[in-house]
A and B are shown apart, each in its own frame.
With several copies, the nearest count.
Chain A
Amino acid sequence: MAGSVGQVSLPPVELAEFPILAQRVHGNRLAYLDNAATTQKPRSVIESMTHYYEHDNANVHRGVHLLSQRATDAFDAARVKLAQFIGAQNPNSVLWTKGCTEAINLVAQTWGLANLGPDKRILLSAMEHHANIVPWQMVAERTGVTITPIPVSDEGVLDIDWLRANLDETVALVGVKQICNALGTVNPIGEIATMAHAVGALILVDGAQALAHAPANVVADDLDFYAMSAHKAYGPTGVGALYVRPEILRDLAPYQGGGDMIRTVSWEGTTYNDPPNRFEAGTPNIAGVIGFGAALDFLTRIGIDRIHLHEESLLEYGTSALSAVPGLTLRGTAPCKAAILSFTLDGIHPHDLGTLLDGHGVAIRSGHHCCMPLMKRLGVPATARASLAVYNTQQDIDQLVFALHEAKRVFA
């Protein structure tokens, strides 16, 4: 199964594990290259949720009947899996959220509101996703904290020297993507964490694009906050997670109010439960969490190393294949890059490309990728983006290149 043919390796999974890939799109084979937006789901993930609904569905934690116990067991087991997957020692340092966006908002609304003020600064990489910009702008409006972007080079490399020169004890937080969804850049989060901690700042890493490709080890990388989305890692929509360093989590003020997050409620006053419950008000996305657990099982079964090798081999092939297309400019050429190929093509707007490629069964994304400030920095209104996953093949890239040539014919 694994192995390499000529220069590109074969996927370390059976494509038949992904039911959606079998379909035809406008009469063509589907080349799904929009994985940074959301990955497809293996059968095991889909079935874990179907199984839950057909056998175990019940509300968690509060019931004493068998279904509730089964649901609770499966729900709690997923938390242990995720903690292990990212190297967290205590499963209770992992909180379930709606997704990566909510995870970052949770940090902003709890830790941020309590710890930021006009005398503090937040440094965010200039390549951040809106999800790691806007929540802080909203907190800045309330607290007066200053937000400063960490510069990025034309190639999409973060300016670490600038960061080193600008870190001082007024900096409360450094926020950075582990892998850039728009350019593929892999940022040196461990190094940044060390630098941040040296001046007493905390580090928040947006791991949305990394979980399925090269996840952090929150202990080895010494992270304070790590945000994730299941749907970008072969898991379901509607569920994500936030890791918080236990020492910070212990005293963190609650987030949303409601059931499960309280110890006692009375009209005179309410006391709160311990983490993680304190941050998980209301009925959670039980099926989603179980599906997330199944996605982690899938990743563990295939092995992040094998996934990484395969995607690297595709990236190399894709980079040279795209570079050979006349008029095409790759955007994001950092030396340390994940398997994301962002580009522009002379004379064809990315949206038109998106539609034209779709006509050939090739699904890519075009637009600002929720990184408007980065697009402005790079001087492009939008890019087209092919983002790869474990099930992609050389054929997918060849199909993309063929479709690009066809698109050029239409606009010739």
Chain B
Amino acid sequence: MELENLYQEIILDHAKKPRHFGLLVDATHRSEGHNPLCGDQVTLTLEVRDGVITEIGFEGCGCAIALATASLMSSAIQGKSTDEALQFSQQVLQAVTSQCDDTEPLGDLAALTGVRRFPMRVKCATLALHAIQDALTSGSIERK
């Protein structure tokens, strides 16, 4: 057991005080994620202007891992282009699900790799990651 590895300082911090909490009114992209086994749920909204994510906001209920992932990811991709954001979320996804060891490029998100040793919790981390990918690839909101 490496509980300290899973519940690192930064994760607990983001879980207790999630950044970017609250949905955007002027969202251009939106997605919802749901984990049927545990009931965790996240709704994500993005504002994308000229290919750049200018704002991001989420709501949801879930465990510390799910909330911290959403919060950390939101902080990381705000200001990134959608392509960069997609690529980055893919990197993080790989890092939490596989054994690849180069966690340098992940920055703060490297903390999430502790989840690898807890297979039943990997889904908690991937919930927000999938939601972001969904929002970017198929979550465009039709303007009235």
Direct contact of A and B (CB under 8 A): yes
Identify the closest chain B residue to A68 (Cβ). B120
| Residues in chain A near residue B92, CB distance under 8 A | none
Residues of A within 8 A of B61 (CB): 381
**Which of the residues B6, B39, B124 comes within 8 Å of A368, measured between beta carbons?**
B39
Q: Which bucket holds chain A's interface residue count?
A: 35 or more
A338-373 interface code vs B (CB 8 A; 1 in, 0 out):
000000000111111001101100000011100010
Min CB distance B114 to A, Å, is 11
| Residues B6 and A355 in contact, CB atoms below 8 Å apart | yes
Contacting residues, chain A, for B38 (C-beta < 8 A)? 62, 351, 366-368, 382
Q: Bound state CA distance, A61 and B39, in angstroms?
A: 13
Determine if B39 and A372 form an interchain contact, defined as CB atoms under 8 angstroms apart: yes
Q: Contact at A375–B3, with CB atoms within 8 Å?
A: no
If A69-B120, A349-B62 touch, does A61 touch B6 (CB 8 Å cutoff)?
Answer: no
Residues of B bordering A, CB below 8 Å: 1, 3, 6-7, 12, 16, 34, 36-41, 61-65, 118-121, 124
Q: Is there an interface contact between B120 and A349, defined as CB atoms closer than 8 Å?
A: no
* Complex Cα spacing A27 to B41, Å: 33
CA distance A273 to B35 in the complex (A): 10
Q: CB-CB < 8 A to B3: which residues of A?
A: 355-356, 359, 410
* Cα A63 to Cα B38 with chains together (Å): 9
A131 at the interface (CB under 8 A from B): no
Within 8 Å CB of A367, what residues of B? 37-39
Q: How far is the CB of B130 from chain A (nearest CB, A)?
A: 13
Query: Is the pair B37, A73 in contact by a Cβ cutoff of 8 Å?
Result: no
A176 to B7, CA, bound (A): 40
A411 sits at the interface (CB 8 A): yes
- Contact flag A352-B63 (CB < 8 Å), given A263-B36, A359-B3, A367-B39: yes
Point out which of A348, A355, A359, A372 has the most chain B C-beta atoms below 10 A from its C-beta. A355
| Distance (whole angstroms) from the CB of B119 to the closest CB of chain A | 6
Q: Which residues of A contact B119 (CB under 8 A)?
A: 69, 72-73
Complexed CA–CA distance, A226 and B122 (Å): 32
| The 7 A-B residue pairs with the shortest CB-CB distance in the complex, in nearest-first order | A351-B63, A349-B63, A26-B1, A359-B1, A368-B39, A263-B36, A64-B120
Q: Which residue of chain A has its CB nearest to the CB of B62?
A: A349
Q: A63-B120, A64-B121 are in contact. Are A349 and B39 (CB under 8 A)?
A: no
Question: By CB atoms of chain A within 10 A, which of B12, B34, B38, B119 has the most?
Answer: B38
* B36 neighbours in A (Cβ, 8 Å): 262-264, 273, 277
> Do A264 and B34 touch (CB < 8 A)?
yes
Could you tell me the distance in whole angstroms from the C-beta of B69 to the nearest C-beta in chain A?
Answer: 13
- What are 10 pairs between A and B in contact, CB < 8 Å? A72-B119, A263-B34, A351-B40, A352-B63, A355-B118, A355-B121, A367-B38, A375-B39, A381-B39, A410-B12
- From A27, which residue of chain B is reached at the shortest CB distance? B1
Q: In the complex, what's the smallest C-beta–C-beta distance from A326 to chain B, in angstroms? A: 18
A347 CB to nearest B CB, Å: 8
Q: In the complex where A72-B120, A359-B1 touch, is A349 in contact with B64 (Cβ < 8 A)?
A: yes
Given A355-B3, A359-B3, A62-B12 contact (CB < 8 Å): no
Residues of chain B contacted by A72 (CB below 8 angstroms): 119-120
Please give the distance in Å from B91's CB to the nearest CB on chain A. Answer: 25
Minimal beta-carbon separation of A163 from chain B (angstroms):
28
